[in-house]
C-alpha cells in the first residue's frame, strides 16, 4: 500500500491521466503482475515472441512505434533496440519502474499521449470516435505494434462518462465504444500503410 501511494504521489503524468484513472490502473497492473507472475509468464512470453516475429519481417533502422506500451513486459525490448534506430513508446502513463526497465537507452522515447485522441472530448461529455491522425505523416516509422488489449480501450472513458454524465443512455455508449475500437483498428492499418511506403490515403 505504501509503495502504491508513493508511486501515485511521485509519478509525473498529465492531469488527464490522473483524472480519468489511467495512473491508478497502471499502478494496479504493476501490482497484479507481481502477484500473478507465475500464471502470466506464458502469456507475456508469447506476446513478446509474436511481436518479435512481426518485427523481424521489417527492414533494419527507422522508428518502431509501440502503442499502449504499458509496463513493457509484453514487448521484446532488446530485440527492438537492436533492430531499430529509435523506439517510441506511447501510453498515457509510464511508471518509473517501466522507464528503468529500458536501462536509459538513448534510442527510447517515452511519449505520454492519448492514442485514441478522444479523451479531451470525453471530459466534455462528448461522444466522438474519429480515426486518430498523429504520426500518419511520418515516413520514418518502419514498425507499428499495438500492445493495447483492444476491449480495454473504452473502459476508462466509459467509467468517466457514466460517473459524470449519468444521463447518457446505454445504447449510445455501446455504439460509441464500438466506434472507438474500429477507429483504433483503422488507425493501425493507416500507420501500417505509412510503414510499408504506400502512403496514408
Residue 2 phi, psi dihedral angles, 5° rounding: -65, -40
Quote the CA–CA distance of 62 and 77 in Å, as a whole number: 16
List, for residues 75-125, the tens digit of each pLDDT value.
999 999 999 999 999 999 999 999 999 988 999 999 999 999 999 999 999
Residue 80 has a pLDDT of 96
Residue 148 has a pLDDT of 79
| Cβ–Cβ under 8 Å, residues 84 and 52 | no
Domain membership of residue 97 (yes or no) is: yes
Domain membership of residue 200 (yes or no) is: no
Domain membership of residue 107 (yes or no) is: yes
Residue 2 has a pLDDT of 78
Give the domain range for residue 182: 2-195
Give the chain's radius of gyration (CA, Å).
17
User: In terms of Cα–Cα distance, which of 111, 63, 108 is closest to 90?
Assistant: 111
Residue 83 has a pLDDT of 96
Domain membership of residue 55 (yes or no) is: yes
Q: Cell 518502431: give the residue.
A: 64
Domain membership of residue 134 (yes or no) is: yes
Domain count along the chain: 1
The set of cell numbers assigned to 38 is 507465475
Q: Which residues of the chain have pLDDT under 50?
A: 198-201
Domain membership of residue 21 (yes or no) is: yes
Domain membership of residue 133 (yes or no) is: yes
- CB proximity list for 67: less than 8 A, separation 6 or greater: 90, 91, 115, 144, 145, 146, 147, 148, 188
Domain membership of residue 57 (yes or no) is: yes
Amino acid at each position: 500500500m505504501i509503495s502504491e501511494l508513493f508511486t501515485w504521489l511521485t509519478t509525473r503524468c498529465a492531469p488527464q491521466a490522473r483524472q480519468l484513472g489511467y495512473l491508478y490502473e497502471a499502478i494496479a497492473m504493476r501490482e497484479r503482475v507481481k502477484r500473478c507472475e507465475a500464471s502470466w509468464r506464458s502469456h507475456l512470453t508469447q506476446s513478446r515472441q509474436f511481436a518479435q516475429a512481426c518485427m523481424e519481417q521489417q527492414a533494419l533502422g527507422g522508428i518502431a512505434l509501440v502503442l499502449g506500451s504499458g509496463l513493457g513486459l509484453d514487448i521484446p525490448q532488446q530485440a527492438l533496440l537492436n533492430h531499430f534506430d529509435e523506439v517510441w513508446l506511447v501510453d498515457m502513463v509510464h511508471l518509473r519502474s517501466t522507464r528503468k526497465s529500458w536501462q536509459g537507452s538513448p534510442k527510447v522515447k517515452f511519449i505520454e499521449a492519448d492514442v485514441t485522441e478522444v479523451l479531451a472530448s470525453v471530459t466534455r461529455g462528448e461522444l466522438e470516435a474519429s480515426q486518430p491522425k498523429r504520426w500518419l505523416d511520418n515516413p520514418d516509422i518502419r514498425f507499428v505494434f499495438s500492445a493495447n488489449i483492444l476491449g480495454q480501450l473504452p473502459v476508462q472513458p466509459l467509467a468517466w462518462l457514466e460517473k459524470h454524465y449519468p444521463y447518457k443512455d446505454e445504447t449510445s455508449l455501446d455504439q460509441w465504444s464500438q466506434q472507438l475500437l474500429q477507429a483504433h483498428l483503422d488507425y493501425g492499418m493507416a500507420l501500417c500503410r505509412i510503414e510499408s511506403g504506400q502512403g496514408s490515403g
